[in-house]
């Protein structure tokens, strides 16, 4: 049986867990061409968030039994097409929770304390010593952290808030308008952890950003299309919002050009789960799930 792994993963993962199968490992820049070449006789696919597994590609894969996504989010996979075809879809929950929560706090602190500007000042050689009003940021102690999507990662972010003296308000994507309005109105820092679904796509648009607290900080380590990036860029440029920390983008890997010159924005290249330990655990989980389904066993983290 043949497994297409869309791009090289931290090893050992495919080398041991998929050793009973023929494994083809693609190149990061060769999707969807490699999918078109290898899916016609593939029994399993191990993609990452970078690769869109569309209905059109799935239609080329008559033998495909499983899409074992190397990620917790599965918005890159056409779940409906998989459901119709009886293709199992799995993800990698749990193993990336703490790493992603840590990175969320890295962004919160970096934006609140103007990390980028401070680092740039030192490197410019222009710093001439301590000044009482230099580069003042925002204190977190006593402020309110709003968590949109208090699932595994959102809850881990909320847990860390007590160490910083922050009060927490949460709103699930499925909660009614009252909870959502409270989240917008009360959060000094609002952090997004909901999955990307039709209900969350564009949830933070111009109107919602306008209802956030003046000077609030928005952080997104979930999925870019939950936030309207153009609206965010103008809310930041006008000073309506105090800053933003982004790890994900609406049209990844593109970033809205309006965000790039803003000093109060910290931008990372989708690094939420990027520790050696976590990325290896994700790769091993995904390969194990593919192998389980190919052996006729029930996977551990079935989405479809």
Q: Which residues are catalytic?
A: 223, 252, 270
Q: For residues 148 and 158, what is the distance between their CA atoms, to the nearest angstrom?
A: 10
Pick 21 or 31: Cβ nearer ligand GLV: 31
- Least Å distance between CB 106 and ligand GLV? 15
Instruction: Decide: is 158 part of the binding site for ligand GLV (CB under 6 A).
Output: no
Residues 6+ apart with CB under 8 A from 215: 138, 188, 241, 242
The angle at the Cα of 271, spanning 266 to 48, to the nearest 5 degrees, equals 140
Instruction: Decide: is 96 part of the binding site for ligand GLV (CB under 6 A).
Output: yes
Pick 73 or 137: Cβ nearer ligand GLV: 73
Taking phi first (over 0 means left), then psi (-120 to 50 degrees means alpha), and beta for anything else, what does residue 283 get? Answer: alpha
Question: Which uninterrupted H or E stretch holds 80?
Answer: helix 79-85
Q: For residues 173 and 103, what is the distance between their CA atoms, to the nearest angstrom?
A: 21
Instruction: Decide: is 226 part of the binding site for ligand GLV (CB under 6 A).
Output: no
Chain CA centroid to CA 58, Å: 24
Q: For residues 264 and 49, what is the distance between their CA atoms, to the nearest angstrom?
A: 27
Looking at the DSSP assignment, which residues form a beta bridge with residue 53?
Answer: 77
Instruction: Decide: is 273 part of the binding site for ligand GLV (CB under 6 A).
Output: yes
Pick 92 or 264: Cβ nearer ligand GLV: 92
Residue ranges of the alpha helices (H) in 205-275?
206-210, 229-237
Quick note: the x/- pattern for ligand GLV over 60-89, rule CB under 6 A, is -----------xxx----------------
For residue 167, the 8-state DSSP code is: E
Pick 43 or 229: Cβ nearer ligand GLV: 229
- Least Å distance between CB 92 and ligand GLV? 6
- Least Å distance between CB 176 and ligand GLV? 26
- Least Å distance between CB 45 and ligand GLV? 16
The angle at the Cα of 175, spanning 228 to 52, to the nearest 5 degrees, equals 45
Question: Which uninterrupted H or E stretch holds 4?
Answer: strand 2-5
Pick 96 or 218: Cβ nearer ligand GLV: 96
- Least Å distance between CB 253 and ligand GLV? 13
Instruction: Decide: is 283 part of the binding site for ligand GLV (CB under 6 A).
Output: no
Looking at the DSSP assignment, which residues form a beta bridge with residue 227?
Answer: 204
Pick 96 or 107: Cβ nearer ligand GLV: 96
Q: Which parts of 32-51 interact with ligand GLV (CB under 6 A)?
A: 49
C-beta separation of 278 from 99 below 8 A: yes
| Number of chain positions touching ligand GLV (CB under 6 A) | 7
- Least Å distance between CB 71 and ligand GLV? 3
Task: Output b/e per residue, 210-222; b: 16+ Cβ within 10 A.
Answer: eebbeebbbbbbb
Footprint of ligand GLV on this chain (CB under 6 A)? Answer: 49, 71-73, 96, 272-273
């Amino acid at each position: 049986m043949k497994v297409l792994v869309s791009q090289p993963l931290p090893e050992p993962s495919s080398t041991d867990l998929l050793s009973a199968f023929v494994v083809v490992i693609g190149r990061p820049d060769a999707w969807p061409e490699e999918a078109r070449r290898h899916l016609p006789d593939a029994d399993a696919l191990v993609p990452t968030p970078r690769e869109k597994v569309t209905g059109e590609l799935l239609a080329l894969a008559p033998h495909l039994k499983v899409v074992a996504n190397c990620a917790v989010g599965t918005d890159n996979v056409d779940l409906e097409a998989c459901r119709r075809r009886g293709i199992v879809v799995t993800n990698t929950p749990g193993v990336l929770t703490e790493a992603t929560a840590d990175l969320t706090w890295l962004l919160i602190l970096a934006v609140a304390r103007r990390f980028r500007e401070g680092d740039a000042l030192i490197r410019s050689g222009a710093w001439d010593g301590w000044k009482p009003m230099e580069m003042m940021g925002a204190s977190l102690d006593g402020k309110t952290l709003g968590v949109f999507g208090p699932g595994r990662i959102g809850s881990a972010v909320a847990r860390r808030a007590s160490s910083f003296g922050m009060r927490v308000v949460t709103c699930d994507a499925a909660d009614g308008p009252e909870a959502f309005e409270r989240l917008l109105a009360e959060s000094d820092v609002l952090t997004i952890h909901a999955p990307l679904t039709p209900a969350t796509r564009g949830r933070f648009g111009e109107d919602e950003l306008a209802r956030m607290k003046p000077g609030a900080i928005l952080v997104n380590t979930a999925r870019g299309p939950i936030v309207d990036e153009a609206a965010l860029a103008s809310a930041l440029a006008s000073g309506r919002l105090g800053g933003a920390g982004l790890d994900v983008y609406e049209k990844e890997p593109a970033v809205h050009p309006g965000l790039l010159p803003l000093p109060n924005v910290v931008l990372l290249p989708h690094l939420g789960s990027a520790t050696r330990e976590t990325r290896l655990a994700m790769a091993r989980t995904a390969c194990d799930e593919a192998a389980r389904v190919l052996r006729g066993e029930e996977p551990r983290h079935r989405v479809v």
